Amino acid sequence: MFRQLKAGKPCDLSLQRAALNVMRTRGKEHPYYWAGFRLIGDSQPVHF
pLDDT-derived band at 28 (thresholds 50, 70, 90) equals low
Q: What is the mean pLDDT of residues 32-44?
A: 77
DSSP, residue by residue, 1-48: -HHHHHTT--HHHHHHHHHHHHHHHTTS--GGGTTT----S--SPPP-
Contacts 24+ apart (CB under 8 A), 31-39: 39/11, 39/12, 39/15
The predicted structure's pLDDT at residue 27:
67
Q: What is the pLDDT of residues 10-22, one digit of tens each?
A: 988 888 888 888 8
Cβ proximity of 6 and 45 under 8 Å: no
Greater confidence (47 vs 24) lies with 24
Greater confidence (12 vs 42) lies with 12
Percent of the residues in the chain that have a pLDDT greater than 70, as a whole number? 90
